[in-house]
Structure 1
Amino acid sequence: MNSLRLLPRSTMRALRSSRRQLPSITRTFSILPRLQTQGPPATPDAETTASQKGNSPAYLGTTKRLPEFNLVDKVVLVSGAARGLGLVQAEALLEAGATVYALDRLEAPSPDFSRIQKRAETELGTSLHYRRIDVREVDELNKIVQDIADKHGRMDGLIAAAGIQQESPALEYSRKDCDTMMSINVTGVFMTAQAVARQMVRFEQGGSVVLIASMSGTIANRGLICPAYNASKAAVIQLGRNLASEWGQYGIRVNTISPGYIVTAMVEALFEKFPERREEWPKQNMLGRLSRPEEYRGAAAFLISDASSFMTGEFGFLLLTNIWAYANEMV
């Protein structure tokens, strides 16, 4: 109060006048919420609709935020999704609203699969399914993919993440091991993409195919002796280019992702055997660290969704952090 007495009389009169008007201002604000709810009701988006069904989804894209990422009602297959990178990317697609089918040759998926499956049903308002299949069993693979497409009346996307790795010097690599590597990493990827694309063409709705390649398809890794694996991933990159060129007429986009080193359970086991790699590998890219499977979630959602609707034939996506390694490895 003492400080108020120091104000000029004109200011004091203005303050008293505004104080007398406060009740009317308060009354005005109190009716604003009612005014805002008048008029035609807004069209409910997928998030609202799912909430009315008793779920509380939190999709990546809705009519309210980044709708181009919305995958509600889309059917997407992810091969190699029983665990690891494939499963992490499958969860990202679920969060965007897609119905996801995981394809893998394991008898049963990892324990984490059931957690994500339950989350899809109770939290995200969608579903995650498992189909056991070796991508080399082409007839059975085609049957599974067609059955899924028939059930839903559509086929919208594929992430082909199934693959194997074997470290062995080139002078010691057997023909059998090389044939196995190529049959899974190249032929298996090709046949999976083909099976999915056939359904996309059948329903005339287009779609998006993402092939998981590797930075090793572009570089020769220092300290990691895997010539057949690197050759297989180079083939995946070239396969992606050709499929994009051929299938664009059907509205099918094809892109590849080339991850750098990812810290997975297998890599951790490798570090136990070769502890020096834990120190050396992070030095071989510009960020100075290794990547985590979760860091490829956004790439999956982006490439499968309409957010990348004018992007096809792109290879080496996410390879940029390894350009420094590329220069190093080729020396």
Structure 2
Amino acid sequence: MASLVNGTSKPRAGKHHFVYPNFNLQGKVYIVTGAGRGLGLCIAEAMTEAGAEVHCLDRLPEPYPDFIETQELAEKSHIGSLHYHHVDVRNSKFLNDTINKIASREHRLDGLVAAAGVQQVTEAIDYAPEDVTRMMDINYTGVFMTAQAVARRMIELNNHGSIILVASMSGLIANKGLNSVVYNSSKAAVIQLAKNLAMEWGPKGIRVNSLSPGHIITPMVQKNFEEVPGLKETWEKENMLGRLAHPEEFTGAAIFMLSEASSFMTGSSLVIDGGHTAW
């Protein structure tokens, strides 16, 4: 996992080793959606350093330069590997076909990080039905169908493992200063989805948890700051640490949730929000 130095990602030098071996993902195969950039890509990078073969699914026809740089870094310095697939999670048939091909490479699939999501800042009274449908198709249905496709292959291969659904603290609260009712509702649905999938798939050896980050400085959030003047300052004041998060600050939690270090954890919602929801 890259360390954060003055807000930039910098690889650490030295030999690869695992101080606590339960965090080792070496030899395992995972899928990460929404990993073209932002939080999904940052988590995927950390997974390659922990040893995983990571397949990134994103709706961008070509990955952002950030992805190419991360892929090159993984090839040179990490134990695992990073791969890109152009997939829109709303296309269930193509999604399933892609996941089946990935699982067939090594005849294994160890889990998923479902991080694909979109946001729309709109007054609730102005939402059109098609806007609601579009967001829920990606943020909820797409997450569900991706988890289903991954779990189906894991069960067929008798491959136990872990699934992380990336929700948000926005699924627990209303975000002061930002009107995004559908996004928040979709994340609440994802939190509930994880609990129910955990119940159904636990006996089959598949753990399912949700990860609920607080406000992170990502391209999506930067766009919010452009749309709503003063929003960054508002959110910083609402946080017990007086600042917003960087994507790198969630990678440790993701590795923990995917690895044997969390072997008795399922049906949980892990909230990492700088104390925002603890007031």
Both proteins in one fold, TM over 0.5: yes
1:296 has 2:250 as partner: yes
Give the letter aligned to residue 80 of structure 1. Answer: G
What is the aligned counterpart of 2:146 among 184, 192, 196? 192
Residue-by-residue CA offset, 1:43-79 (whole Å, 9 max, x unaligned): xxxxxxxxxxxxx9854x63xx210001110001100
Contact 2:214–2:274 (CA<8 Å) still a contact in 1? Answer: no
Q: 1: CA distance between counterparts of 2:225 and 2:125?
A: 24
Higher strand proportion: 2
- 1:265 is displaced (CA, Å) by 2.6
Distance 1:183 1:273 in 2: 24
Aligned: 1:205 with 2:183:
no
From 146, 151, 172, the counterpart of 1:218: 172
Out of 175, 179, 185, the residue aligned to residue 129 of structure 2 is: 175
The answer to whether 1:131 aligns with 2:120 is no
Q: What is the rounded CA distance, in whole Å, between the counterparts of 1:210 and 1:76 in structure 2? A: 11
Structure 1 runs not aligned, ≥5 long: 1-55
In 2, Cα distance between equivalents of 1:224 and 1:313: 29
Instruction: Compute the displacement of 1:319 (Å).
Output: 4.4
How much has 1:137 moved relative to structure 2? 0.4
Quickly say closer, same or farther: Cα 1:269–1:230, change in 2 above 3 A. closer
Are 1:214 and 1:316, in contact at CA under 8 Å, matched by a contact in 2? Answer: no
Could you say which structure has the greater relative contact order, defined with CA pairs below 8 angstroms and 6 or more residues apart?
2
Instruction: State whether structure 2 residue 232 is matched by structure 1 residue 278.
Output: yes
The structure carrying a bigger helix percent of its residues is 1
CA distance in 2 between partners of 1:128 and 1:58 (Å): 19
Superposed CA deviations along residues 250-281 of structure 1, whole A, max 9, x for unmatched, are: 11000101111111233223323323112111
Is the 1:206–1:251 contact (alpha carbons within 8 Å) kept by the matching residues of 2? Answer: yes
SS at match of 1:158: strand
Matched, 1:307 2:253: no
- Classify the secondary structure of the residue corresponding to 2:60: coil
RMSD across aligned positions (CA): 1.5
Structure 1 residues 107 and 58: CA distance shift in structure 2, 3 A: farther
Q: Secondary structure at the match of 1:131?
A: strand
What 5-or-longer segments of structure 2 have no aligned partner? 1-12
Give yes or no for contact 1:237–1:316 (8 Å, CA) kept in 2: no
How does the TM-score come out when normalised to structure 2? 0.92
Aligned pair count?
Answer: 267
Report the 3-state secondary structure (helix = DSSP H, G, I; strand = E; otherwise coil) of the residue aligned with 1:257. strand
Mapped pair 1:156 → 2:113: no
Who is 2:64 aligned against? 110
How does the TM-score come out when normalised to structure 1?
A: 0.78
CA contact (8 A) 2:61 2:86 kept: yes
Alignment equivalent of 2:95, drawn from 138, 141, 148: 141
